[in-house]
A and B are shown apart, each in its own frame.
Chain A
């Protein structure tokens, strides 16, 4: 029987083909959480069918990716604030609180807050070299939370998410960027700006990814110089990246000139708008390149400084155990079941003695029967400080200020004349007109900068339209006093844009 020796016919051609399949299955798995959002929205209490959750999720990943820089990621609140316009557009009739809830739900689900790993798991099967079918777990994250410099938690997109988003699965960073930019140039030349914008955005994601690689290298250098191959790999990478940046500068400046031209020449208003957007994107690309370049130039000095700091140590007096090399490093690649035995042994012998609590029954009874002493939330009593009251020399009292503020709380659509305000004030309190006049004069040069920095919602202003003021006590111009409403969310967004 010649066939008896050969194994059963295999449904898949072999491990090599299986590997490609596994890669694609993993790529497919990364999109699953997005589909899942639309499936699960039915389970939410309320009417959420109108919202396109996958769309919101992709937009969120976009926002986080673009906010990623060398040091931090995106603030969750800011991502949610920026998602709101899109969500509001999907269901304009619904309350803002619901929009906010949807945004938070989507972001939380992309982090997968409920799970202990804060990630996702997909199961797929492969055939091993011996023809045996094994089910495997693939764990991945889309948005992860990282520690920022101030101890705050920031969001970053993972490589998986960037790959899903960009749609270029399993590709090399450098080549993908070149491809994207060549495509852009062609598109611009042919005048297909909509596609060009897409390509430019892709190029920007690639740039971010590139910067991220460098950031990690520098980070590990700071931790340990030997972690990174500074003999060949990093210098090669730095050289390559610098060449690359020089190349991109040329490219992007060419593109910029092209599009500016297209923008100025275009007659179609939508065309013009698109070209203008594209100019912004390419400018941002150039900005990111500049940032990358300055980091690249710092890389060499950083390495030398760290080498001095880390490698300059006295020679070993006697041999000890190399905790990392002999324990931790061999431990990490082993199966977790065996590794746990080692870590258990370490824990058992590596922790100090803990005296166990010994309880006497009499003490216990007494303690249980003692009424609880009132807890002193405020700590020990402070000695009464010896204070001398400072005389109140304010020109106006608090009540007067309150009254004046109330008078000046004008509806945004109905500005008033100063003369009218003064008359009203005089009816309330003979002192009040003075305060009103002062406040109005102050409002003639409103503190716009402060309001902008502090994110105020409304601002009092006064304008002189040339009418003279006729008043027994005050002279000058009869100002028009009004309230301006400010776009607080827009300003907040602009502020972070500046600080970045």
Chain B
């Protein structure tokens, strides 16, 4: 049966937009945001949460209030869906943002440690979404292992070392200017693992640093631990994909561009897709390691 052409929509039923919002609605909106701050809680597991999500999607005024609550708290709403729940991220300088110094204490004094911890997070994402399509595809679930990420980065560093050796470059940094040392050298220099007295991971080793990053991401509801093989096996959650796609990538690319490092037209970066040397790669090749 089609819609009756002449009849107007019954006003009393109407869209709930007509009803004025009460403080109770604001409380509900805030409760939805607080659910969003518990990233390990999947919407399907909590009836209240699922109901609030439905309300967000069905009642635009309620959605606007929830957005406003999040915005006022210093949160950015990435997506609201049954799949990802109320996916919120901390805005810059928000009280919810994680500071590097709180994340790992050594990073305040040691610039190399600061870099390595950041790199570990970047590498986890790079391996979790190896192809550009993986990041774009909402249904994609990445799978990573701690040892896999570690050896992946180490391999990339080794490759750079080989290349530098082929060109006969002396990559040893000047002693007075440690900041000019190539980034890969910092990683390559750090040992991959190490024996400790109590059979735990050596925290300062690259495996330890990647392990910390992965454990932290798992604690943030971004990764889900599925096994113990290879130092810990994890799969990604929709939230992680959103965070990487919507926020992290843009922020990092902006910084990179400011360093003058994303050559789009001249193609000097040999590892960029679209480079003449890369034509033999399969379409959408995500890991362009090649000579």
Q: Are A335 and B179 in contact (CB under 8 A)?
A: yes
Residues B194 and A145 in contact, CB atoms below 8 Å apart = yes
Chain A positions within 8 Å of B289 at CB level: 220, 224, 226-228
Q: When the two chains form their complex, are residues A139 and B100 in contact, meaning their CB atoms are under 8 A apart?
A: no
**A332 part of interface (Cβ distance < 8 Å):** yes
Residues of the A chain whose Cβ atoms lie less than 8 Å from the Cβ of B261:
330-331, 334, 338
User: Interface readout for B117-151 with A: 1 if CB under 8 Å, 0 if not?
Assistant: 11101110110011111111100000000011001
Q: How far is the CA of A345 from the CA of B37 in the complex (A)?
A: 21
Set of chain B residues within 8 Å of A139, measured between Cβ atoms: 172, 185, 189
For residue A138, CB closer than 8 A to chain B, the reply is: yes
Contact partners of A141 in chain B: CB under 8 A? 191
Q: How far is the CA of A333 from the CA of B180 in the complex (A)?
A: 10
Interface centre among A220, A227, A324, A326 (most CB of B within 10 A): A324
Nearest-CB residue, chain A, relative to B196: A153
The CA-CA distance from A141 to B154 in the complex, in Å, is 15
Q: Is A352 touching B222 in the complex (CB atoms < 8 A)?
A: yes
Interface pair A147/B207, CB less than 8 Å apart = yes
Any chain B CB within 8 A of the CB of A7?
Answer: no
User: Which chain A residues (342-369) contact chain B, with CB distance < 8 Å?
Assistant: 342-356
Residue ID in chain B nearest A119 by CB atoms: B189
Task: Report the minimum CB–CB distance from A63 to chain B (whole Å).
Answer: 17
Name 29 interchain pairs, CB-CB below 8 A, sorted by A.
Answer: A117-B189, A118-B205, A136-B175, A145-B192, A145-B193, A145-B194, A147-B231, A219-B155, A223-B152, A224-B287, A226-B281, A226-B282, A315-B284, A323-B135, A325-B287, A326-B272, A328-B122, A332-B160, A334-B259, A334-B261, A336-B179, A336-B183, A337-B180, A339-B183, A342-B259, A350-B251, A351-B220, A353-B75, A354-B97
Q: Which residues of B contact A406 (CB under 8 A)?
A: none
Interface assignment of A438: CB less than 8 Å from any CB of chain B: no
What's the Cα separation between A319 and B122 when bound, in Å? 19
Closest residue to A223 on the B side, CB-wise?
B152
Given A223-B155, A332-B156: A340 and B273 interface contact (C-beta under 8 Å): no
Whether A227 contacts B155 by the Cβ 8 Å rule is: yes
Q: Which of A76, A137, A343 has the most CB of B within 10 A?
A: A343
Check if B41 is an interface residue, CB within 8 A of chain A: no
Interface 1/0 per residue, A2-14 and B, CB below 8 Å: 0000000000000
**Interface pair A147/B193, CB less than 8 Å apart:** yes
- One of B1-9, B44-52, B53-61, B107-115 contacting the partner: B107-115
Is B21's CB within 8 Å of the partner chain A? Answer: no
* Residue A123 CB within 8 A of the other chain: yes
Residues of A within 8 A of B111 (CB): 336-337, 340
Interchain CA distance A342-B262 in the complex, whole Å = 12
* Cβ distance A19 to chain B, nearest Cβ, rounded Å: 7
Instruction: Considering the complex, give the chain A residue whose CB is closest to the CB of B176.
Output: A135
Contact of A341 with B by CB under 8 A: yes
Q: Is the CB–CB distance between B170 and A22 below 8 Å?
A: yes
A136-B172, A353-B75 given; 18 more Cβ-contact pairs under 8 Å:
A124-B172, A146-B192, A147-B207, A153-B195, A223-B152, A223-B155, A226-B287, A316-B136, A320-B245, A324-B126, A329-B156, A329-B269, A330-B272, A332-B156, A332-B182, A333-B184, A337-B179, A344-B100
Chain A-chain B contacts (Cβ-Cβ < 8 Å), number: 324
Cβ contact within 8 Å between B182 and A118: no
Chain A interface bracket (under 10, 10 to 19, 20 to 34, 35 or more): 35 or more
Q: How far is B217's CA from A346's CA once the two chains are assembled, in angstroms? A: 13
Q: Is B248 within 8 A of A346, CB to CB?
A: yes
The 9 closest A-B pairs by CB, nearest first: A343-B118, A316-B133, A337-B179, A350-B248, A352-B220, A320-B136, A320-B135, A329-B271, A353-B96
**B39 — which chain A residues lie within 8 A by C-beta?**
352-353
The residues of B that contact A325 with a CB separation of less than 8 Å are 271-273, 286-288
In the assembly, what is the distance between CA of A136 and CA of B173, in Å?
5
Residues of B within 8 A of A179 (CB): none
A464 vs B287: C-alpha distance when bound (angstroms): 72
The reply to whether A327 and B126 form a contact with Cβ atoms under 8 Å apart is yes
Is there contact, CB below 8 Å, between B204 and A116? yes
Contacts of B117 in A (CB 8 A): 343, 347
Chain B residues contacting A111 (CB-CB under 8 Å) are 194
The residue that B182 contacts in the complex, of A136, A334, A344, with Cβ under 8 A, is A334
| Closest beta carbon of chain A to B79's beta carbon, Å | 13
Tell me, rounded to whole Å, the shortest Cβ–Cβ distance linking A58 to chain B.
21
Question: Which residues of the partner chain B approach A117 to less than 8 Å between Cβ atoms?
Answer: 189-191
Task: Tell me how far the C-beta of B210 lies from the nearest C-beta in chain A, rounded to whole angstroms.
Answer: 12
Q: A136-B172, A147-B231 are in contact. Are A223 and B98 (CB under 8 A)?
A: no
Point out the residues of chain B lying under 8 angstroms from A331, CB to CB: 119, 122, 183, 256, 261
A330 to B271, CA, bound (A): 7
Docked Cα-Cα span, A346 to B204, in Å, equals 21
Min CB–CB distance B228 → chain A (angstroms): 9
Does A321 sit at the interface, judged by CB under 8 A?
Answer: yes
A146 to chain B, nearest CB (A): 6
* Set of chain A residues within 8 Å of B231, measured between Cβ atoms: 147, 151
Is the Cβ of B191 less than 8 Å from the Cβ of A353?
Answer: no
Contact of A339 among B97, B115, B137, B273 (CB under 8 A): B115
Rounded to whole angstroms, the CA-CA distance of A134 and B175 in the bound complex is 8
Which single member of B98, B152, B189, B259 contacts A338 (CB below 8 Å)?
Answer: B259
Given the interface pairs A331-B256, A349-B247, the reply to whether A144 lies near B281 with Cβ below 8 Å is no
Q: Which of A145, A224, A313, A319 contacts B191 (CB 8 A)?
A: A145
Max chain B CB contacts within 10 Å: which of A19, A216, A333, A352?
A: A352
Q: Does residue A190 face the partner (Cβ distance < 8 Å to B)?
A: no
